[in-house]
């Protein structure tokens, strides 16, 4: 009897069975089809698709999406990310910024979020395309806010300054996880270097933002320490969400954090001084981004 109960406990382990609070809307509907058509006709990519975001159905039906520029091959091999890894055999697509702007117009977006793969094979990391996209949106879509979720550019101050010179409304760079887990989760990144990205942008007067995943092996006290580090460089906005394994080849889920933990972390973050904390199992970097400015 005891053996049977143990086996039953194993079959319903939270590691293997997705809890009720993690159900997301299946992509579909008239607005989803319209946005999909715009993306295809403009030869654009979204991180929603490339990273298999669970909120794609909800966000696309609300008429919002996160554009992913600089191609679809990333030079890094982060353990959590579904984007293809490799060395791109193509240069920068200087027409990409124009196509993004045209899509922003057609989608009637008032808060555009632009992210990218890592392009470590380039000294500038692709920063000029970020800058051109920001400038064109501000020029051709008056009133549209621009949030950029950037790589660390391997710590290049010059590349970061190229992006900042275009004056994004929000500069986002995700810390992703706790320092202890960087070797596994972000093997080609450096925790202090990522903090420096946020620090440099804040010192130049920009609104800054970062995000963390729960469920890759971190402890709650470590999450709180990272939040404290982010506030020490005066980061303004924080997102906290549950890691979901995109394929069997990616990092396994260590645990499903309960909504109560996300609620507690939000409360602690606000006490620390973050102006906005978006915290919940299905939260991702650009989730409800327009309401965080």
**Measured at the alpha carbon of residue 27, what is the angle toward residues 81 and 74, in degrees to the nearest 5?**
20
* pLDDT tens column, 2-52: 333 333 333 334 455 778 877 766 555 666 666 666 666 666 666 555 445
DSSP β-ladder status, 66-69 and 45-46? antiparallel
| H, E, C per residue of 19-88 | CHHHCCCCCCCHHHHHHHHHHHHCCCEEHHHHCCCCCHHHHHHCCCCEEEECCCEECCCCCCCCCEECCC
Determine the pLDDT at residue 19: 83
For 72-86, 110-124, 125-139, 227-241, which range has the lowest pLDDT when averaged over its residues? 72-86
Q: For the residues 218-239, what does the mean pLDDT come to?
A: 98
- Classify residue 38 by burial, with Cβ atoms within 10 Å: 0-12, 13-18, 19+: middle
Determine the pLDDT at residue 9: 37
**Whole-number average pLDDT of the chain:** 85
**What are the chain's domains?**
22-291 (3.20.20.70)
* pLDDT tens column, 249-258: 889 999 999 9
Spatial separation of the C-alpha atoms in residues 173 and 231, rounded to whole Å: 14
Spatial separation of the C-alpha atoms in residues 166 and 183, rounded to whole Å: 33
pTM: 0.85
Q: Which residues sit opposite 56 in a β-bridge?
A: none
More confident call, 23 vs 194: 194
Q: How confident is the model at residue 225 (pLDDT cuts 50, 70, 90)?
A: very high
* pLDDT tens column, 89-112: 889 999 999 999 999 998 888 888
Cα–Cα distance list, 150 to 172, 175, 201, 209, 271 (Å): 6, 11, 11, 11, 27
* b/e per residue 257-269 (b: at least 16 CB within 10 A): beeebbeebbebb
More confident call, 210 vs 80: 210
For 2-11, 81-90, 197-206, which range has the lowest pLDDT when averaged over its residues? 2-11
């Amino acid at each position: 009897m005891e053996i049977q109960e143990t086996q039953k406990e194993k079959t319903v382990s939270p590691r293997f069975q997705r809890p009720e609070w993690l159900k997301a809307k299946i992509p579909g509907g008239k607005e989803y089809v319209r946005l999909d058509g715009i993306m295809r006709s403009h030869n654009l990519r979204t991180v929603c698709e490339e990273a298999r975001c669970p909120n794609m159905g909800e966000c696309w039906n609300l008429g919002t999406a996160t554009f992913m520029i600089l191609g679809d091959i990333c030079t890094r091999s982060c353990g959590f990310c579904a984007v293809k890894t490799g060395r791109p055999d193509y240069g920068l697509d200087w027409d990409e910024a124009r196509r993004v702007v045209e899509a922003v117009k057609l989608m009637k977006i008032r808060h555009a979020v632009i992210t990218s793969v890592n392009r470590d094979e380039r000294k500038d990391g692709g920063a000029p395309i970020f800058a051109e996209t920001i400038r064109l949106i501000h020029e051709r879509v008056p009133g549209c806010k621009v949030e950029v979720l950037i790589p660390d550019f391997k710590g290049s101050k010059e590349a970061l300054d190229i992006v900042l010179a275009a004056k994004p409304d929000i500069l986002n760079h995700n810390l992703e996880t706790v320092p202890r887990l960087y070797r596994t989760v972000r093997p080609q990144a450096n925790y202090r270097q990522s903090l420096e990205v946020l620090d440099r942008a804040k010192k130049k007067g920009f609104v800054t933002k970062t995000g963390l995943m729960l469920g890759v092996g971190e402890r709650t006290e470590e999450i709180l320490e990272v939040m404290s580090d982010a506030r020490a460089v005066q980061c303004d906005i924080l997102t906290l969400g549950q890691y979901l394994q995109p394929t069997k080849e990616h990092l396994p889920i260590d645990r499903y954090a309960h909504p109560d933990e996300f609620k507690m972390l939000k409360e602690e973050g606000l006490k620390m001084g973050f102006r906005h904390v978006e915290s919940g199992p299905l939260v991702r970097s650009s989730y409800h981004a327009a309401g965080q400015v």
